[in-house]
């Protein structure tokens, strides 16, 4: 007995309606869990910096797309497992099959939903994620330039200006004058001509949009050009060094060059540019490492969204296998598969960047692994469905 087309529409709407609540509940819970670590880390930074908590809220909004693109595939699997686990536990699946509903007819609505979620996740990955990452990096950079005296504690190295080639620290503060004592500063650390400066005292002051570190009674150590292990030592009574920090948070334009902050089209162009800069056998240069990193990020932009489809393939047959405590069993199976999937993803990412595995293999292996398991369970469910129909037909004939 085959169900009528109108009944199939009702069945499709019913299964999707059963899937939607656990999907959004999982999406909310998983997103909040992944955001907790970022919240704790940013809260610590904001307490030290003494800036408005509205910047914290803004940063969380910017990091939200990066979290959602990961939690959508997770929630797809958990939602399917819980939905079909509930239907199986309440014997609704048995009733559907008794009315001629096949396994394939139960599978199709979830596959369509999984494809829709994959496309949605891909749009997030290509548009919302790059814009969110770029805005996050820009605001984080502006906050890091704020008054370093709020950040630096005695004996702690301040690395907020590391990208500009400067790191510095002081051992203690004078109890009466408030001057910084025993100051050490490493300058031009990325230029190939680093300079080390030490002084007995220093004063941090702000003038307009810049900060100055006035050093007193110190020495400067610089490498002599062309002479290995030979340094020039210069003593000074007073020296002034410009710091790329401001007293308040100043918003500025900033374009991130990280592949994670690039949309697919721009990342593709970046890969072509890097390919022109290296030779075929070059595997260790900076450009070669950046090329592997860009390729990994490029394939990851596709593999993570389409994990929804592969999770859909494995979720339906696993959900139908649940007979008791459907919701909890479904949740347990889903979380286990998610952990395995993302462990493989992290491993593949590391191997891809290090050149141990080609980028597309590294990023698509978790999906292929999940898809293979899903196909095994699909074939098993289809065979069982046919056997069940055969036995039902034989019983009716008798």
At 133 the pLDDT is 84
- CA–CA separation, 339 and 247 (whole Å): 44
Whether pLDDT at 300 is above 50: yes
Whether pLDDT at 181 is above 50: yes
Question: 231: helix, coil or strand?
Answer: strand
In tens, the pLDDT along 273-286 reads: 888 888 878 777 77
Domain boundaries along the sequence of the chain: 5-143+302-340+360-397, 152-243
Q: Which residue has the higher pLDDT, 387 or 279?
A: 279
Scored b (16 or more CB within 10 A) or e, 50-71 reads ebeeebbeebeebbbbbbbbbb
At 58 the pLDDT is 84
Written as six digits, the tokens of 78 are: 């958990």
Whether pLDDT at 330 is above 80: no
Whether pLDDT at 214 is above 80: yes
Q: How confident is the model at residue 375 (pLDDT cuts 50, 70, 90)?
A: confident
What average pLDDT score do residues 336-354 get? Answer: 89
* Alpha-carbon torsion, ordered 109, 112, 116, 121, to 10 deg: 90
User: 198 has which bridge partners?
Assistant: 184, 219
User: 238 has which bridge partners?
Assistant: 216
Q: How confident is the model at residue 151 (pLDDT cuts 50, 70, 90)?
A: very low
Q: Where are the beta strands (DSSP E) in 45-194?
A: 167-173, 180-187
Question: 93-97, 165-169, 223-227, 267-271 — which one is most confidently predicted on average?
Answer: 267-271
Whether pLDDT at 304 is above 90: yes
Find out whether 244 and 164 touch, Cβ atoms under 8 Å.
Answer: yes
In tens, the pLDDT along 111-134 reads: 899 999 999 999 999 999 988 888
Q: Which residue has the higher pLDDT, 390 or 249?
A: 390
- CA–CA separation, 230 and 221 (whole Å): 10
What average pLDDT score do residues 5-32 get? Answer: 84
Q: What is the DSSP letter of 188?
A: S
Q: Which residue has the higher pLDDT, 354 or 3?
A: 354
In tens, the pLDDT along 222-250 reads: 877 766 667 788 888 888 887 765 444 45
Q: Which residue has the higher pLDDT, 156 or 310?
A: 310
Find out whether 196 and 184 touch, Cβ atoms under 8 Å.
Answer: yes
Written as six digits, the tokens of 45 are: 């930074």
Q: What is the DSSP letter of 192?
A: S
The total of other beta-carbon atoms located within 10 Å of residue 132's CB is 22
Question: 166: helix, coil or strand?
Answer: coil
């Amino acid at each position: 007995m085959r169900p009528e087309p109108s009944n199939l529409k009702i069945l499709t709407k019913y299964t999707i309606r059963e899937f939607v609540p656990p999907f959004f509940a999982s999406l909310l819970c998983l997103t909040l869990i992944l955001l907790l670590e970022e919240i704790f880390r940013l809260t610590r930074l904001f307490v030290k910096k003494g800036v408005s908590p509205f910047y914290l809220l803004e940063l969380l909004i910017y990091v939200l797309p990066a979290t959602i693109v990961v939690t959508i595939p997770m929630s797809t699997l958990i939602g399917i497992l819980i939905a079909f686990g509930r239907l199986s536990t309440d014997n609704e699946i048995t009733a559907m099959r008794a009315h001629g509903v096949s396994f394939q007819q139960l599978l199709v609505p979830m596959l369509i939903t999984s494809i829709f979620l994959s496309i949605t996740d891909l749009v997030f990955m290509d548009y919302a994620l790059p814009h969110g990452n770029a805005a996050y990096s820009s605001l984080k950079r502006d906050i890091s330039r704020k008054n370093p005296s709020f950040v630096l504690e005695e004996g702690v190295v301040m690395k907020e200006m590391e990208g500009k080639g400067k790191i510095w620290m002081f051992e203690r503060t004078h109890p009466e004058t408030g001057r910084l004592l025993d100051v050490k500063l490493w300058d031009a650390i990325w230029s190939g001509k680093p300079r080390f400066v030490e002084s007995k005292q220093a004063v941090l002051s702000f003038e307009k949009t810049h900060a100055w570190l006035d050093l007193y009674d110190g020495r400067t150590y610089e490498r002599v050009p062309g002479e290995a292990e030979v340094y020039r030592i210069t003593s000074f009574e007073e020296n002034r060094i410009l710091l790329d920090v401001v007293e308040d948070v100043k918003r500025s334009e900033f374009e991130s060059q990280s592949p994670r902050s690039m949309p697919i089209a721009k990342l593709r162009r970046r890969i072509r540019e890097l390919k022109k800069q290296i030779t075929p056998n070059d595997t260790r240069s900076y450009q070669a490492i950046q090329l592997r990193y860009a390729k990994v990020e490029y394939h990851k932009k596709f593999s993570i969204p389409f994990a929804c489809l592969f999770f859909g393939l494995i979720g339906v047959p696993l959900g139908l296998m649940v007979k008791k405590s459907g919701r909890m069993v479904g949740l347990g199976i889903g979380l286990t598969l998610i952990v395995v999937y993302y462990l493989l993803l992290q491993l593949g990412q590391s191997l891809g960047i290090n050149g141990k595995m080609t980028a597309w293999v590294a990023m698509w292996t978790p999906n292929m692994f999940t898809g293979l398991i899903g196909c095994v369970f699909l074939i098993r469910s289809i065979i069982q469905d046919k056997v069940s129909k055969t036995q039902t037909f034989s019983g009716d004939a008798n």
